[in-house]
Amino acid sequence: MAINVDTVYKTVLLILNQQQRGYMTPDEFNKVATQVQLNIFEKYEDDLNQQYRMPQNDTEYANRVKNIEENLQFFQRTGATAGTNPFTLTPTDIYRLGTVFYKGSELTQYAQRNEVTQLLLSPLTQPTTTFPIYLYENNNLYVYPTSIVTATDITFSYLKTPADIVWDYTQGSLGQFVFNAGGNTQDFELNVSEQTNVITRILAYAGVIINDPNIVQIAGAEIQEEDQNSKT
């Protein structure tokens, strides 16, 4: 379940207004919220890498590796290719390439440009249609042997880039901003469990925007505490 953008924005405004700290316009909120979502998303990779090196418990809801992987599920996609060879990756929102498949079987060997040259020169290491290899450059997949030319044979998994957050609005009769749920509104794509984290981080940015160091300090302390708790 995604995080509702209207709920987050109104909560941020409520906290700011209760403390008489200032105001955050919808355009400011959209830019900050997009950055906050990207920060949280990019942190998953580092957290997952760290947790893989630590012993995990087997409790149903407190396994941190499992929880991070569940958070990433909202960004996991499968994609197709076009062209012959090299194949063009057709999705435009690829953040990180995952597994490449040839006719449904995983291509286990990824090679860099210098390695491809060496592999092709040796009769013992030359790729075959049974054991193909691939090179990923500039959104293109170079698959070897080059006799593989059918785009529908090549598929892949990937993590998508989070969509920009949009709290869409119309102008009310008094000049107020009225939420437009049916317009171009884009909710957060993060797990709903991240809602408190999202609000806290947006408040930290809000403190910078309205030039209030107290908000920055309080929000920053909560973020630091949350980060520390997630790693210990």
Which tens digits make up the pLDDT trace of 10-38?
A: 999 998 887 666 788 999 999 999 999 99
Of 160, 194, 216, which closes a domain?
160
- Count of Cβ atoms closer than 10 Å to residue 62 Cβ: 10
Lowest mean pLDDT among 5-14, 16-25, 35-44, 193-202: 16-25
Q: Based on the domain organization, do 101 and 155 belong to the same domain? A: yes
User: Cα–Cα distance between 12 and 206 in angstroms, integer?
Assistant: 9
pLDDT at 121: 86
3-state class of 204 per DSSP? helix
Higher-confidence residue of 23 and 7: namely: 7
Proportion of the chain in helix, strand, coil states, percent, rounded to 5? 45, 25, 35
Residues facing residue 76 across a β-bridge = 159
Q: Confidence band (pLDDT; 50, 70, 90) for 57? A: low
- Which of 105, 139, 160 marks a domain boundary? 160
The reply to whether 86 and 39 lie within a common domain is: no
Phi, psi of 170 (to 5 degrees): -120, 165
Closest CA to 88 of 160, 130, 159, 143: 143
* Domain shared by 170 and 225, yes or no: yes
Same domain, 207 and 174: yes
Q: Percentage of the chain with pLDDT > 90?
A: 53
In a shared domain, residues 219 and 173: yes
More confident of the two residues 217 and 156: 156
Sequential DSSP letters for 159-201: EEPPPPPB--EEE-TTS-EEE-TTTT-B-EEEEGGGHHHHHHH
Model pLDDT, residue 215: 56
Residue pointed to by tokens 């049916």: 182
Q: What is the pLDDT of residues 92-140, one digit of tens each?
A: 999 999 999 999 999 878 888 888 888 888 888 888 899 999 999 989 9
- Percent of the chain scoring above 70 in pLDDT: 83
What is the pLDDT at residue 123? 82
Cα-based distances in Å from 74 to 159, 162, 172? 9, 9, 34
pLDDT at 51 over 90: no
Whole-number CA gyration radius for the chain: 23
Residue ranges making up the domain that contains 130: 76-160
| 149 and 171 housed in the same domain | no
Residue 169 has pLDDT above 90, yes or no: yes
Prediction pTM value: 0.80
Number of domains in the chain: 2
* Mean pLDDT (the chain, rounded): 86
Handedness of CA 89, 93, 98, 99 (dihedral sign): negative
Q: Give the pLDDT mean for 181-199.
A: 93
